[in-house]
Amino acid sequence: MQLLRFFTAGNVDDGKSTLIGRLLYDSHAISTDIIETLTKQSKVKGGDTEIDLALLTDGLRAERTQGITIDVAYKYFTTGNRQFIVADTPGHLEYTRNMFTGASTAELALILIDARNGLTDQTKRHSIIASILRIPHVVICINKMDLINYSEEKYKQIENDYMEFSRQLQLNDISFIPVCALQGDNVVSQSKNMLWYQGKSLLNFLEIIEIDKPKLSNQSRFQVQYIIRPQTNTLHDYRGFAGKVLSGTYKKGQKVTVLPSGIETIIDKIEMNQHEVNVAETNAPIVFHFKDDLDISRGNSIVLTEDLPKIEKEIIAIICWMDSANYVPGQKILFQQNSFRTKAVVKEVISKIDIHSSIEKESDGTMRLNDICKVLIKTAEPICFDRYIDNRNTGAFILISENTNNTIAAGTIN
């Protein structure tokens, strides 16, 4: 059964958690015991409804106490047609960074807009991030339609406003659905209150949307995560290089190159789950053995000799600044791409993306929380990479503070 990963985003109180709760509840994806527990919790919390569906995704005690979702909450559910993993990301401005995390592996972005408020700065910021991360599909759920008397005219106005704004963005597929998450209109079943809407319900849309395969994912990319050397009597000479196939396919006997050293060798053996295999494909956890005894370290890339990635010490990237502390020119940072890590410095803040117009504007050299900027990064060691547009697995990275060890930015390589 096909798996769809999607994330939700929107302003605080736009109804993201309620929408996902309604989706799970009305599609009968919740067990009876959980429904009973939620009903009891809802009575304790009080409110107008018998069951507070938002509690399905508000998994942290702090979320329920403060009344906001403060982290990325993942939920898994299945219908007769498809499996789903949904990331419910925060709505508050200061938690925009969490959306970057929740969106990083998604095939679809579900962005909520409060029908009363229309487009907001957060709507634009979330859409820009979806564009940067090249999310294949975007569905705009215009929620709380009941509070505008299910007005088709207001719905169309928001749709037109969004299309006008998104014209500057690289969003390939945009769809719109008018919903009322609280009442269930157009979430799982068609709404009787909006007969003017002839499209699909949200669940039906999610079940049939075509899932695109990552572009050019046939590039064979592998990074060493761990070097296995048991040095026991029975495995005295055993030396394997473990990791996950990031993309593409590897076969026994293929000629490969170890990067950044550039040394070439032949795949002698591939192990998977302690058994030898002849072929390993994307996402497979494997152990490589080579014909030659090579000096290979954690973070080194193993690629097909005939299909090399780029190898540079300077890259231009788009980053989302995630640290509550402002960027300090020359500050010590670590660049991490999967298992590869090296010292780095931001040489230049080239430009900053204006969330109102989505246009790059000249930078003043500063970066603050949630700023989206184009930067020039210089690293101490060469980076092996592909452009993010070509390979999401090798074109994405994070920046870490060398002093605090906190993640301070996430980015994509141009």
Instruction: List the chain pLDDT tens, one digit each, 414 residues.
Output: 789 989 888 887 778 778 888 888 777 766 566 556 656 665 555 555 566 666 655 543 343 344 433 345 677 888 888 999 887 765 444 444 555 655 667 889 999 999 999 999 888 888 988 888 888 899 999 999 999 999 999 999 999 999 999 988 888 899 999 999 989 999 999 999 999 999 999 999 999 998 865 454 689 999 999 999 887 777 777 889 999 999 999 999 999 999 999 999 999 999 999 899 999 999 899 999 999 999 999 999 999 999 999 999 999 999 989 888 999 999 999 999 999 999 999 999 999 998 777 888 999 899 998 889 999 999 999 999 999 988 988 999 989 999 888 889 989 998
Q: Are residues 333 and 195 in the same domain?
A: no
Supply the pTM of this predicted model. 0.77
Q: Of 285, 304, 323, which residue is a domain's last?
A: 304
Single out the residue of 323, 333, 317 nearest to residue 394, CA to CA.
317
**By three-state DSSP, how is residue 87 classified?**
strand
- Whether 213 is in a domain gets the answer no
* pLDDT at residue 75, as a whole number: 79
Final residue of a structural domain among 281, 304, 327: 304
Element (H, E) at 77: strand 73-78
89 found inside a domain:
yes
376 in a structural domain: yes
Residues 274 and 356 both lie in one domain: no
User: Domain boundary at 250, 283, 304, which?
Assistant: 304
| 116 and 255 inside one domain | no
Question: 326 and 370: one domain?
Answer: yes
Instruction: Give the tokens for residue 250.
Output: 């590897």
Let me know if residue 216 belongs to a domain.
no
Res 289: pLDDT? 96
The answer on 314 and 300 residing in a single domain is: no
Residue 382 lies in a domain: yes
Is 363 part of a structural domain of the chain?
A: yes
pLDDT at 304: 97
Residue 206 contacts residue 109 (beta carbons within 8 Å): no
Strand partners, 309: none
pLDDT at 263: 95
In a domain, residue 203? The reply is: yes
Instruction: Quote the tokens at residue 335.
Output: 């660049």
Residue-range definition of the domain harbouring residue 251: 221-304
Return d(Cα 339, Cα 140) in angstroms, integer: 35
**Is 280 in the same domain as 376?**
no
On whether residue 267 sits in a domain, the answer given is yes
CA distance 363 to 60: 38
Domain of 314, CATH number, reads 2.40.30.10
Per the structure, the count of domains in the chain is: 3
Nearest Cα to Cα of residue 11 among 107, 103, 141, 108: 141
Q: Looking at the structure, do residues 117 and 161 belong to the same domain, yes or no?
A: yes
The whole-angstrom separation of Cα 9 and Cα 111 is 5
Do 171 and 239 lie in one domain? The reply is: no
Q: Say which amino acid occupies 37.
A: T
- 3-state SS assignment for residue 220: coil
Assess contact for 249 and 280: CB atoms under 8 A. Answer: yes
319 and 246, same structural domain? no
Query: Is the domain of 20 the same as that of 98?
Result: yes
| Amino acid letter, residue 410 | A
d(C-alpha 397, C-alpha 333), whole Å: 13
d(CA 274, CA 322): 40
Domain co-membership, 342 together with 398: yes
Q: Are 256 and 314 within one domain? A: no
Backbone phi, then psi, for 140, in 5-degree steps? -95, 115
DSSP state of 180: B
Distance CA 120, CA 301 (A): 42
